[in-house]
Structure 1
Protein backbone atom coordinates (compact mmCIF):
# COMPACT_ATOMS: atom_id res chain seq x y z
CA UNK A 1 0.00 0.00 0.00
CA UNK A 2 1.40 3.37 -1.04
CA UNK A 3 1.81 6.29 1.33
CA UNK A 4 -0.62 9.17 0.93
CA UNK A 5 0.80 12.41 -0.45
CA UNK A 6 -0.33 15.92 0.41
CA UNK A 7 -2.02 17.92 -2.36
CA UNK A 8 0.81 20.45 -2.27
CA UNK A 9 3.40 17.69 -2.77
CA UNK A 10 1.45 16.23 -5.68
CA UNK A 11 1.02 19.65 -7.26
CA UNK A 12 4.77 20.26 -7.10
CA UNK A 13 5.48 16.87 -8.68
CA UNK A 14 3.07 17.22 -11.62
CA UNK A 15 3.72 18.51 -15.12
CA UNK A 16 1.81 21.79 -14.88
CA UNK A 17 1.32 21.88 -18.64
CA UNK A 18 -1.11 18.97 -18.29
CA UNK A 19 -2.41 18.44 -14.76
CA UNK A 20 -4.04 20.03 -11.72
CA UNK A 21 -5.10 18.66 -8.33
CA UNK A 22 -8.86 19.20 -7.94
CA UNK A 23 -10.98 17.71 -5.15
CA UNK A 24 -8.50 15.02 -4.19
CA UNK A 25 -7.73 13.81 -7.70
CA UNK A 26 -5.17 14.51 -10.39
CA UNK A 27 -7.17 15.79 -13.36
CA UNK A 28 -6.34 16.73 -16.93
CA UNK A 29 -8.32 17.72 -20.02
CA UNK A 30 -6.88 17.13 -23.48
CA UNK A 31 -8.22 18.69 -26.69
CA UNK A 32 -7.83 16.23 -29.54
CA UNK A 33 -9.92 17.96 -32.20
CA UNK A 34 -11.60 14.77 -33.38
CA UNK A 35 -13.16 11.60 -32.04
CA UNK A 36 -10.56 9.46 -33.79
CA UNK A 37 -7.69 11.29 -32.11
CA UNK A 38 -9.49 11.16 -28.78
CA UNK A 39 -9.87 7.40 -29.17
CA UNK A 40 -6.20 7.06 -30.10
CA UNK A 41 -5.16 8.94 -26.95
CA UNK A 42 -7.48 6.80 -24.85
CA UNK A 43 -6.05 3.59 -26.27
CA UNK A 44 -2.50 4.73 -25.63
CA UNK A 45 -3.38 5.73 -22.07
CA UNK A 46 -5.04 2.34 -21.55
CA UNK A 47 -1.87 0.55 -22.66
CA UNK A 48 0.28 2.60 -20.26
CA UNK A 49 -2.18 2.02 -17.42
CA UNK A 50 -2.13 -1.74 -17.99
CA UNK A 51 1.67 -1.77 -17.91
CA UNK A 52 1.68 0.17 -14.64
CA UNK A 53 -1.30 -1.73 -13.18
CA UNK A 54 -2.84 1.58 -12.15
CA UNK A 55 -5.84 2.89 -14.02
CA UNK A 56 -7.36 6.37 -14.44
CA UNK A 57 -11.00 7.27 -14.97
CA UNK A 58 -11.51 8.26 -18.59
CA UNK A 59 -14.22 10.48 -20.04
CA UNK A 60 -14.06 10.33 -23.83
CA UNK A 61 -16.00 12.97 -25.74
CA UNK A 62 -15.97 14.17 -29.31
CA UNK A 63 -12.73 16.09 -29.61
CA UNK A 64 -11.57 15.78 -26.02
CA UNK A 65 -10.53 13.38 -23.29
CA UNK A 66 -10.74 14.05 -19.57
CA UNK A 67 -8.59 11.92 -17.26
CA UNK A 68 -8.55 11.70 -13.48
CA UNK A 69 -6.73 9.40 -11.11
CA UNK A 70 -6.63 8.56 -7.42
CA UNK A 71 -5.45 5.57 -5.39
CA UNK A 72 -8.80 4.09 -4.39
CA UNK A 73 -7.27 1.57 -1.99
CA UNK A 74 -5.99 4.33 0.30
CA UNK A 75 -8.59 6.99 -0.52
CA UNK A 76 -6.18 9.63 -1.78
CA UNK A 77 -3.22 10.53 -3.96
CA UNK A 78 0.02 8.57 -3.94
CA UNK A 79 3.25 8.27 -5.90
CA UNK A 80 1.45 5.80 -8.18
CA UNK A 81 -0.86 8.57 -9.36
CA UNK A 82 2.03 10.95 -9.96
CA UNK A 83 3.89 8.25 -11.93
CA UNK A 84 0.82 7.51 -14.05
CA UNK A 85 0.34 11.21 -14.79
CA UNK A 86 3.98 11.48 -15.83
CA UNK A 87 3.65 8.51 -18.15
CA UNK A 88 0.49 9.95 -19.71
CA UNK A 89 2.26 13.29 -20.18
CA UNK A 90 4.87 11.50 -22.29
CA UNK A 91 2.11 10.03 -24.46
CA UNK A 92 0.42 13.42 -24.82
CA UNK A 93 3.69 15.02 -25.91
CA UNK A 94 4.39 12.21 -28.37
CA UNK A 95 0.95 12.57 -29.96
CA UNK A 96 1.12 16.37 -29.98
CA UNK A 97 -2.21 16.69 -28.17
CA UNK A 98 -3.22 20.07 -26.73
CA UNK A 99 -3.75 20.16 -22.96
CA UNK A 100 -6.18 22.40 -21.07
CA UNK A 101 -5.15 21.86 -17.44
CA UNK A 102 -7.22 24.69 -16.00
CA UNK A 103 -10.43 23.35 -17.58
CA UNK A 104 -10.81 20.66 -14.93
CA UNK A 105 -13.42 21.04 -12.19
CA UNK A 106 -15.55 18.88 -9.91
CA UNK A 107 -19.07 19.51 -8.67
CA UNK A 108 -20.56 18.51 -5.31
CA UNK A 109 -23.98 19.16 -3.80
CA UNK A 110 -23.93 19.99 -0.08
CA UNK A 111 -27.01 19.44 2.09
CA UNK A 112 -27.19 20.96 5.57
CA UNK A 113 -29.16 18.69 7.92
CA UNK A 114 -30.09 18.53 11.58
CA UNK A 115 -30.47 14.73 11.47
CA UNK A 116 -28.15 13.35 8.80
CA UNK A 117 -29.01 9.65 9.41
CA UNK A 118 -32.68 10.50 8.88
CA UNK A 119 -32.33 12.39 5.58
CA UNK A 120 -29.40 10.54 3.97
CA UNK A 121 -31.44 7.38 3.07
CA UNK A 122 -33.97 9.53 1.18
CA UNK A 123 -31.26 11.07 -1.00
CA UNK A 124 -29.60 7.68 -1.49
CA UNK A 125 -32.90 6.25 -2.73
CA UNK A 126 -34.15 9.15 -4.84
CA UNK A 127 -30.80 9.56 -6.63
CA UNK A 128 -30.00 5.86 -6.90
CA UNK A 129 -26.66 6.64 -5.26
CA UNK A 130 -24.48 4.59 -2.91
CA UNK A 131 -22.44 5.48 0.16
CA UNK A 132 -19.15 7.13 -0.71
CA UNK A 133 -16.56 4.33 -1.09
CA UNK A 134 -13.38 4.50 0.97
CA UNK A 135 -14.13 7.83 2.67
CA UNK A 136 -11.18 9.69 4.13
CA UNK A 137 -10.76 9.46 7.90
CA UNK A 138 -13.01 11.98 9.62
CA UNK A 139 -14.87 12.82 6.39
CA UNK A 140 -18.51 13.88 6.54
CA UNK A 141 -21.15 11.44 5.25
CA UNK A 142 -21.42 11.46 1.47
CA UNK A 143 -23.14 9.69 -1.41
CA UNK A 144 -21.72 8.90 -4.84
CA UNK A 145 -23.09 8.02 -8.26
CA UNK A 146 -22.24 4.30 -8.70
CA UNK A 147 -21.62 4.98 -12.39
CA UNK A 148 -19.12 7.70 -11.50
CA UNK A 149 -20.84 10.39 -13.59
CA UNK A 150 -23.07 12.48 -11.35
CA UNK A 151 -22.07 15.07 -8.76
CA UNK A 152 -21.28 13.77 -5.28
CA UNK A 153 -23.67 14.68 -2.46
CA UNK A 154 -22.34 15.35 1.03
CA UNK A 155 -24.05 16.22 4.28
CA UNK A 156 -23.08 19.01 6.65
CA UNK A 157 -24.20 18.88 10.27
CA UNK A 158 -26.42 21.76 11.41
CA UNK A 159 -26.63 22.77 15.07
CA UNK A 160 -29.98 24.53 14.80
CA UNK A 161 -32.67 25.26 12.17
CA UNK A 162 -31.95 28.02 9.63
CA UNK A 163 -35.35 28.85 8.08
CA UNK A 164 -34.14 32.09 6.52
CA UNK A 165 -31.26 30.53 4.63
CA UNK A 166 -31.11 27.90 1.89
CA UNK A 167 -29.82 24.55 3.11
CA UNK A 168 -28.60 23.08 -0.19
CA UNK A 169 -25.68 24.63 -2.04
CA UNK A 170 -23.20 23.72 -4.77
CA UNK A 171 -19.46 23.24 -4.21
CA UNK A 172 -17.48 23.88 -7.39
CA UNK A 173 -13.88 22.69 -7.02
CA UNK A 174 -11.49 24.23 -9.53
CA UNK A 175 -7.73 24.39 -10.10
CA UNK A 176 -6.09 26.56 -7.47
CA UNK A 177 -4.73 28.95 -10.09
CA UNK A 178 -8.12 29.81 -11.61
CA UNK A 179 -10.23 30.14 -8.43
CA UNK A 180 -9.96 33.92 -8.07
CA UNK A 181 -10.82 34.33 -11.75
CA UNK A 182 -13.90 32.14 -11.30
CA UNK A 183 -14.98 34.14 -8.25
CA UNK A 184 -14.52 37.42 -10.11
CA UNK A 185 -16.56 36.13 -13.06
CA UNK A 186 -19.40 35.09 -10.73
CA UNK A 187 -19.42 38.50 -9.04
CA UNK A 188 -19.38 40.27 -12.41
CA UNK A 189 -22.34 38.11 -13.47
CA UNK A 190 -24.54 39.51 -10.70
CA UNK A 191 -23.48 37.45 -7.71
CA UNK A 192 -22.23 38.71 -4.38
CA UNK A 193 -19.63 37.58 -1.88
CA UNK A 194 -21.07 36.01 1.27
CA UNK A 195 -17.74 35.17 2.89
CA UNK A 196 -14.07 34.84 2.02
CA UNK A 197 -12.84 34.09 5.54
CA UNK A 198 -11.77 30.58 4.50
CA UNK A 199 -10.26 31.55 1.15
CA UNK A 200 -8.38 30.11 -0.68
CA UNK A 201 -9.93 26.88 0.65
CA UNK A 202 -13.30 28.23 -0.44
CA UNK A 203 -15.24 31.42 -1.17
CA UNK A 204 -18.97 31.49 -0.39
CA UNK A 205 -20.92 33.28 -3.13
CA UNK A 206 -24.61 33.79 -3.78
CA UNK A 207 -26.82 34.84 -6.67
CA UNK A 208 -29.13 37.86 -6.49
CA UNK A 209 -31.78 35.78 -4.67
CA UNK A 210 -29.41 34.35 -2.07
CA UNK A 211 -28.84 30.86 -3.52
CA UNK A 212 -25.31 29.90 -2.55
CA UNK A 213 -22.35 28.23 -4.24
CA UNK A 214 -18.79 27.77 -3.01
CA UNK A 215 -15.72 28.00 -5.22
CA UNK A 216 -13.22 25.58 -3.69
CA UNK A 217 -9.55 24.60 -4.06
CA UNK A 218 -7.18 22.24 -2.26
CA UNK A 219 -5.27 25.14 -0.74
CA UNK A 220 -5.39 26.03 2.98
CA UNK A 221 -6.84 22.62 3.84
CA UNK A 222 -3.75 20.55 4.59
CA UNK A 223 -3.28 19.75 8.26
Structure 2
Protein backbone atom coordinates (compact mmCIF):
# COMPACT_ATOMS: atom_id res chain seq x y z
CA UNK A 1 0.00 0.00 0.00
CA UNK A 2 1.22 3.47 -0.86
CA UNK A 3 0.32 7.03 0.01
CA UNK A 4 1.09 8.24 -3.51
CA UNK A 5 -2.38 7.67 -4.91
CA UNK A 6 -4.44 9.58 -2.38
CA UNK A 7 -1.86 12.35 -2.02
CA UNK A 8 -1.89 12.84 -5.81
CA UNK A 9 -5.67 12.95 -5.69
CA UNK A 10 -5.54 15.69 -3.05
CA UNK A 11 -3.12 17.72 -5.16
CA UNK A 12 -5.10 17.37 -8.39
CA UNK A 13 -7.20 20.14 -9.92
CA UNK A 14 -10.90 19.71 -10.56
CA UNK A 15 -11.66 17.52 -7.54
CA UNK A 16 -12.82 20.22 -5.13
CA UNK A 17 -16.11 18.37 -4.56
CA UNK A 18 -14.27 15.41 -3.07
CA UNK A 19 -13.02 14.58 0.43
CA UNK A 20 -10.34 11.95 1.03
CA UNK A 21 -11.52 9.94 4.02
CA UNK A 22 -10.08 6.81 5.59
CA UNK A 23 -12.32 5.07 3.08
CA UNK A 24 -10.93 6.96 0.11
CA UNK A 25 -12.28 9.75 -2.11
CA UNK A 26 -15.92 10.46 -1.28
CA UNK A 27 -18.45 13.07 -2.38
CA UNK A 28 -21.98 14.04 -1.36
CA UNK A 29 -24.23 15.73 -3.92
CA UNK A 30 -27.40 17.49 -2.75
CA UNK A 31 -30.60 16.95 -4.74
CA UNK A 32 -34.22 17.97 -4.37
CA UNK A 33 -35.99 14.63 -4.15
CA UNK A 34 -35.56 10.86 -4.07
CA UNK A 35 -36.51 10.76 -7.74
CA UNK A 36 -33.72 13.22 -8.59
CA UNK A 37 -31.31 11.16 -6.51
CA UNK A 38 -32.26 7.99 -8.38
CA UNK A 39 -31.82 9.66 -11.78
CA UNK A 40 -28.43 11.05 -10.79
CA UNK A 41 -27.26 7.71 -9.40
CA UNK A 42 -28.29 5.96 -12.62
CA UNK A 43 -26.30 8.50 -14.63
CA UNK A 44 -23.22 8.21 -12.41
CA UNK A 45 -23.28 4.41 -12.62
CA UNK A 46 -22.35 4.68 -16.31
CA UNK A 47 -19.17 6.70 -15.77
CA UNK A 48 -16.14 4.97 -17.25
CA UNK A 49 -13.49 3.71 -14.86
CA UNK A 50 -15.57 3.07 -11.77
CA UNK A 51 -13.79 0.80 -9.31
CA UNK A 52 -15.36 -2.59 -8.47
CA UNK A 53 -15.57 -1.31 -4.90
CA UNK A 54 -17.36 1.92 -5.83
CA UNK A 55 -20.48 2.47 -3.75
CA UNK A 56 -23.40 4.72 -4.73
CA UNK A 57 -25.98 5.39 -2.03
CA UNK A 58 -28.95 7.70 -2.17
CA UNK A 59 -31.60 9.33 -0.03
CA UNK A 60 -34.33 11.87 -0.58
CA UNK A 61 -31.90 14.81 -0.46
CA UNK A 62 -28.49 13.50 -1.54
CA UNK A 63 -26.37 10.99 -3.41
CA UNK A 64 -23.11 9.74 -1.87
CA UNK A 65 -20.29 8.35 -4.00
CA UNK A 66 -17.43 6.34 -2.49
CA UNK A 67 -14.83 5.59 -5.15
CA UNK A 68 -12.60 2.97 -3.53
CA UNK A 69 -13.71 2.12 0.05
CA UNK A 70 -10.09 2.76 1.17
CA UNK A 71 -7.68 5.63 0.74
CA UNK A 72 -4.80 3.22 0.05
CA UNK A 73 -6.63 1.96 -3.04
CA UNK A 74 -6.73 5.40 -4.64
CA UNK A 75 -4.98 5.55 -8.02
CA UNK A 76 -4.17 8.30 -10.52
CA UNK A 77 -7.08 7.23 -12.72
CA UNK A 78 -9.55 8.05 -9.95
CA UNK A 79 -8.93 11.77 -10.56
CA UNK A 80 -10.55 11.56 -14.00
CA UNK A 81 -13.39 9.45 -12.61
CA UNK A 82 -14.06 12.02 -9.89
CA UNK A 83 -14.03 14.88 -12.41
CA UNK A 84 -16.49 13.05 -14.65
CA UNK A 85 -18.84 12.37 -11.74
CA UNK A 86 -18.71 16.00 -10.62
CA UNK A 87 -19.45 17.20 -14.14
CA UNK A 88 -22.52 14.96 -14.43
CA UNK A 89 -23.72 16.07 -11.01
CA UNK A 90 -23.45 19.74 -12.00
CA UNK A 91 -25.26 19.11 -15.28
CA UNK A 92 -28.13 17.53 -13.34
CA UNK A 93 -28.38 20.53 -11.01
CA UNK A 94 -26.97 18.75 -7.97
CA UNK A 95 -24.56 20.62 -5.68
CA UNK A 96 -21.59 19.18 -3.83
CA UNK A 97 -21.56 19.42 -0.03
CA UNK A 98 -18.06 18.67 1.26
CA UNK A 99 -18.99 19.33 4.89
CA UNK A 100 -21.60 16.58 4.79
CA UNK A 101 -18.97 14.00 3.86
CA UNK A 102 -17.83 11.79 6.72
CA UNK A 103 -17.12 8.19 7.62
CA UNK A 104 -17.12 6.28 10.89
CA UNK A 105 -14.61 3.53 11.61
CA UNK A 106 -14.49 1.27 14.66
CA UNK A 107 -10.90 0.71 15.81
CA UNK A 108 -10.36 -2.36 17.98
CA UNK A 109 -6.99 -2.53 19.71
CA UNK A 110 -5.52 -5.64 21.28
CA UNK A 111 -2.22 -7.22 22.18
CA UNK A 112 -0.77 -8.98 19.11
CA UNK A 113 -1.57 -12.43 20.49
CA UNK A 114 -5.17 -11.42 21.17
CA UNK A 115 -6.08 -9.88 17.81
CA UNK A 116 -9.15 -11.72 16.55
CA UNK A 117 -10.42 -10.05 13.42
CA UNK A 118 -12.02 -13.30 12.29
CA UNK A 119 -14.55 -12.99 15.11
CA UNK A 120 -15.56 -9.49 14.04
CA UNK A 121 -15.89 -10.50 10.39
CA UNK A 122 -18.09 -13.41 11.38
CA UNK A 123 -20.35 -11.68 13.90
CA UNK A 124 -20.90 -8.60 11.71
CA UNK A 125 -21.18 -10.50 8.43
CA UNK A 126 -18.38 -8.32 7.05
CA UNK A 127 -15.99 -8.99 4.18
CA UNK A 128 -12.20 -9.01 4.28
CA UNK A 129 -10.41 -6.07 2.69
CA UNK A 130 -6.95 -6.42 4.24
CA UNK A 131 -5.41 -8.53 6.98
CA UNK A 132 -6.13 -5.87 9.59
CA UNK A 133 -9.66 -4.80 8.71
CA UNK A 134 -13.08 -5.67 7.35
CA UNK A 135 -15.97 -3.77 5.84
CA UNK A 136 -19.69 -3.93 5.32
CA UNK A 137 -20.29 -5.59 1.93
CA UNK A 138 -23.41 -3.42 1.54
CA UNK A 139 -21.37 -0.23 1.94
CA UNK A 140 -23.60 1.04 4.76
CA UNK A 141 -21.96 0.17 8.08
CA UNK A 142 -18.71 1.34 9.63
CA UNK A 143 -15.38 -0.23 8.70
CA UNK A 144 -13.71 -2.26 11.48
CA UNK A 145 -9.95 -1.92 11.86
CA UNK A 146 -7.81 -4.02 14.20
CA UNK A 147 -4.69 -2.33 15.54
CA UNK A 148 -1.90 -3.31 17.91
CA UNK A 149 -2.42 -2.01 21.42
CA UNK A 150 0.25 0.33 22.73
CA UNK A 151 2.61 -1.95 24.72
CA UNK A 152 2.98 0.79 27.34
CA UNK A 153 -0.70 0.53 28.23
CA UNK A 154 -1.75 -1.89 30.96
CA UNK A 155 -4.91 -2.85 29.05
CA UNK A 156 -5.22 -6.07 27.09
CA UNK A 157 -7.88 -4.64 24.79
CA UNK A 158 -9.54 -1.36 23.92
CA UNK A 159 -11.97 0.10 21.41
CA UNK A 160 -12.57 3.57 20.04
CA UNK A 161 -14.38 5.26 17.16
CA UNK A 162 -12.61 7.12 14.34
CA UNK A 163 -14.58 9.87 12.59
CA UNK A 164 -13.01 10.86 9.27
CA UNK A 165 -14.15 14.30 8.04
CA UNK A 166 -13.31 17.05 5.56
CA UNK A 167 -10.52 19.34 6.72
CA UNK A 168 -12.89 22.34 6.92
CA UNK A 169 -15.43 20.38 8.98
CA UNK A 170 -13.14 19.21 11.80
CA UNK A 171 -13.27 22.35 13.96
CA UNK A 172 -17.05 22.55 13.81
CA UNK A 173 -17.43 18.85 14.63
CA UNK A 174 -15.13 19.15 17.63
CA UNK A 175 -16.86 22.31 18.86
CA UNK A 176 -20.24 20.59 18.64
CA UNK A 177 -18.93 17.59 20.58
CA UNK A 178 -17.49 19.80 23.32
CA UNK A 179 -20.71 21.82 23.51
CA UNK A 180 -22.58 18.53 23.96
CA UNK A 181 -20.51 17.69 27.04
CA UNK A 182 -17.42 16.06 25.60
CA UNK A 183 -13.82 17.14 26.06
CA UNK A 184 -10.61 17.15 24.06
CA UNK A 185 -8.11 14.83 25.72
CA UNK A 186 -5.28 14.99 23.17
CA UNK A 187 -4.65 17.61 20.49
CA UNK A 188 -0.98 16.80 19.93
CA UNK A 189 -1.70 15.83 16.31
CA UNK A 190 -3.97 18.80 15.51
CA UNK A 191 -4.96 20.03 12.98
CA UNK A 192 -4.80 16.53 11.52
CA UNK A 193 -6.45 14.67 14.39
CA UNK A 194 -7.86 15.12 17.86
CA UNK A 195 -8.86 12.61 20.53
CA UNK A 196 -12.06 13.42 22.42
CA UNK A 197 -14.01 11.62 25.09
CA UNK A 198 -17.52 11.65 26.46
CA UNK A 199 -18.28 12.15 30.16
CA UNK A 200 -17.69 8.43 30.81
CA UNK A 201 -14.25 8.45 29.18
CA UNK A 202 -15.19 6.66 25.94
CA UNK A 203 -12.84 7.96 23.24
CA UNK A 204 -13.33 9.21 19.69
CA UNK A 205 -10.68 10.31 17.21
CA UNK A 206 -11.75 13.05 14.81
CA UNK A 207 -9.40 12.90 11.83
CA UNK A 208 -8.97 15.43 9.03
CA UNK A 209 -5.47 14.35 8.00
CA UNK A 210 -6.38 12.09 5.07
CA UNK A 211 -8.08 15.13 3.54
CA UNK A 212 -4.94 17.24 3.73
CA UNK A 213 -4.84 18.59 7.28
CA UNK A 214 -1.31 17.80 8.53
CA UNK A 215 -0.47 15.79 11.61
CA UNK A 216 1.68 17.92 13.88
CA UNK A 217 4.45 15.32 14.11
CA UNK A 218 4.59 14.66 10.36
TM-score category (smaller protein): 0.7 to 0.9
| Contact 1:114–1:161 under 8 Å retained in 2 | no
State the distance in 2 between where 1:177 and 1:192 align.
Answer: 20
Q: Name the SS of the counterpart of 1:180 in structure 2.
A: helix
Aligned-pair CA distance for 1:97: 1.2
Query: What is the total number of aligned residue pairs between the two structures?
Result: 210
Q: Name the SS of the counterpart of 1:148 in structure 2.
A: coil
Q: Name the SS of the counterpart of 1:38 in structure 2.
A: helix
Aligned-pair CA distance for 1:12: 3.0
Label 1:195 to 1:75 Cα distance change in 2 as closer, same or farther (>3 A): closer
| TM-score (ref. length: structure 1) | 0.82
| TM-score (ref. length: structure 2) | 0.84
State the distance in 1 between where 2:113 and 2:170 align.
Answer: 30
Aligned-pair CA distance for 1:206: 0.2
State the distance in 2 between where 1:187 and 1:166 align.
Answer: 26
| Contact 1:194–1:206 under 8 Å retained in 2 | yes
Over aligned residues, Cα RMSD in angstroms? Answer: 2.8
The answer as to 2:177 corresponding to 1:186 is: yes
| Contact 2:106–2:161 under 8 Å retained in 1 | yes
| Contact 1:116–1:157 under 8 Å retained in 2 | no
Select which of 58, 69, 73 maps to 2:56. 58
Aligned-pair CA distance for 1:105: 0.5
Select which of 133, 146, 160 maps to 2:137. 146
Q: Name the SS of the counterpart of 1:112 in structure 2.
A: strand
Structure 2 gap ranges (5+) = none
Aligned-pair CA distance for 1:117: 5.3
| Contact 2:115–2:146 under 8 Å retained in 1 | no
Partner residue of 2:105?
Answer: 108
Return structure 1 stretches of 4+ with deviation > 6 angstroms.
Answer: none
Indicate the larger mover: 208-217 or 181-190: 181-190
Select which of 95, 98, 102 maps to 1:98. 95
